Amino acid sequence: MSLIHRDPGNAQPRFAKTLAQGTNRLDIGRLFWVATLGTALTLSAALATNVAVAAEPIPDPLHEPAGPPGFADVVERVTPAVVNVTVAQEARQTLSIPGGSVPDEGSPLYEFFKRFGGLDEMPVPGPRQRRGEGSGFLIDAEGHIVTNHHVVEGATLIEVTLNDGDQYEAEVVGRDPKTDLALLKIKADEPLPHVTFGDSSGARVGDWVLAVGNPFGLGGSVNAGIISARGRDINSGPYDDYIQIDAPINRGNSGGPLFDARGVVIGVNTAIFSPSGGNIGIGFAIPAETAADIVAELKTKGRVDRGWLGVQIQPVSEEIAASLGLSEVRGVLVADVIAGTPAEAAGIKSGDVILEAAGERMEDYRDLTTLIAGIDAGTRIKLEVFRGGQTRMIPVTIGEMPREDLAQTATDDEPAGDEPRIGLYLAPLTPELRAERGLEADAQGVVVAQVAPGSPAQAAGIKAGSLISMVGQQAVTKPSQVVEAVQQAAAEDRPSVLLRVEQDGEQRFIAVPIG
């Protein structure tokens, strides 16, 4: 007998439908069981894996590298050659009274204080020692050390401290203020650790660099960063071509080496850009190839001799090129030709554009300055000059750059300790300086390029940028005339020299004591 009852109005038996529903429920249960079984198998596999991993030795974190590769090996190799440079400078103290300085001698107020203030009984402070610090690095086993000119400028004593703590007194072999480099020498009983100059020309923006030095007098410190830019001109001199870096350098890092990631010297840390005087991520280094050439001359001659053309120049802009009809925006525009110079003798004129010099294309106006400086005086070269819509070749004999702009109270070299000095660095008054200072075209005198810290000139109130037009009652037009006048005054045992100084829009005579 059949157990299946068919519904005449339904093609599917009732039990069969129920069974199908039950089958669906069974399928769901089966799927749940399969899923559960899969999870269990997965957990079992995971547990098996964990057991296998746990069976291996656990790494020792003390022997694993922490973070990306570091510079420890490079630092260990190069830091013995980096030194701290400490200098002592004589700083004069001025006589002062509560509420201000003593009035100038000869003024009514001076006579008042003289008569009623007891100036004769007031103690006059004597010279005191001021200390400064910087960095440097040994470049040979004999003890030659590279640092910055501004680190040792005006120093009466220079002490060098090596990485191992040994101290030596150093002497100045030579200095070059135009590139802010100086070469020192210490005497040791045994060969010294040292590094050598490399070549920065292959260094690219973004490359790692290490700055090693003596920031804030803390001692040897290493900072890492990258090259931020190349060829920077910071208006510090005619040969600006700095490497800009973001490696933290601060006061005291001056003169220290800049290494690449291999430990090769690619620069000399020289300057920072900072409103506060501390690091903000903008530092500048002299390229190694530039420093190497300067140091080689300082080592052999104690000074740097440079070729000289005698022109004031400026870059060629797009507007200048278009107005002159130049097909390319390149070359060097001659703004002025200084009288009595090789350029004038060769027939170079204001408005000329120098396209080539000694066969070298002039892409940037600084190219000419660098090229001419490296040519020996007396060498004859040819200049390709664009004038009046045409190019022409002009031969010129290179002269020797005058060193009078570095004159303090000597004609060429630094004065000896027993020679008179007033602390002025002087430069000729060129047409460019006349225009810059807003002076008349016929203005005469000598420009104060720099005033030595703590010098008699600084104590007398003379500032950089001032114009000296007379010494005593004699007009002067050359730095050498000021030098000779100071030497003559000292020879006559005069305590001071009288200078007529134009400063802050006023002219006045100032008596400067002779040191």
Q: What CATH number is given for 404-513 in this structure?
A: 2.30.42.10
Residues flagged as binding site for substrate: 150, 180, 252-254
Q: Where in the chain is the domain with CATH 2.30.42.10?
A: 307-400, 404-513
Residue 169: is its pLDDT beyond 90?
Answer: yes
User: What is residue 186's DSSP assignment?
Assistant: -
- The helix/strand/coil state of 7 is coil
Residue numbers annotated as active site:
150, 180, 254
pLDDT digits (tens, 9 = 90+) for 373-430: 889 889 999 999 999 889 999 999 998 877 543 333 323 334 434 456 788 888 888 7
Q: Using a pLDDT cut of 70, give the percent of the chain over it.
A: 72
C-alpha dihedral over 252, 254, 258, 263, to 10 degrees? -60
Q: How far is CA 76 from CA 48, 259, 467, in A?
A: 47, 13, 51
User: In 3-state terms, the chain is what percent helix, strand and coil (to 5)?
Assistant: 25, 30, 40
* Mean pLDDT computed over 4-21: 37
Across all residues in the chain, what is the average pLDDT? 76
Q: Which pLDDT tens digit goes with each residue over 332-380?
A: 998 888 877 899 999 999 889 999 999 999 988 788 988 998 898 899 9
d(Cα 381, Cα 400) in Å, to the nearest integer? Answer: 14
Confidence label for 186 from pLDDT (cuts 50, 70 and 90): very high
The model carries a pTM of 0.59
Query: Residue 48: which pLDDT band, with cuts at 50, 70 and 90?
Result: very low
Domain 76-94+102-185 has CATH 1.10.3720.10: no
Which residue reads 């010294």 in tokens?
192
How far is residue 220 CA from its own chain's centroid? 19
> Where does 132-279 have alpha helices with state H?
149-152
Q: Which CATH class is domain 307-400?
A: mainly beta
Q: What is the DSSP letter of 48?
A: H
CATH code of 208-289, in short, is: 2.40.10.10
More confident residue, 268 or 56: 268
155-161/144-147 β-pairing: unpaired
Q: What is the pLDDT at residue 187?
A: 94
- Where do we find the tokens 């030194």? 83
pLDDT digits (tens, 9 = 90+) for 204-254: 999 999 999 888 777 788 999 999 999 887 766 667 789 999 988 888 888
The answer to whether the CB of 212 falls within 8 A of the CB of 79 is: yes
d(CA 419, CA 381): 40
Instruction: From 377, 340, 372, select the one nearest 354 (Cα to Cα).
Output: 372
Q: Which of 220, 216, 210 is nearest to 276 (CA)?
A: 216
In the chain, list all ranges with CATH 2.40.10.10: 76-94+102-185, 208-289
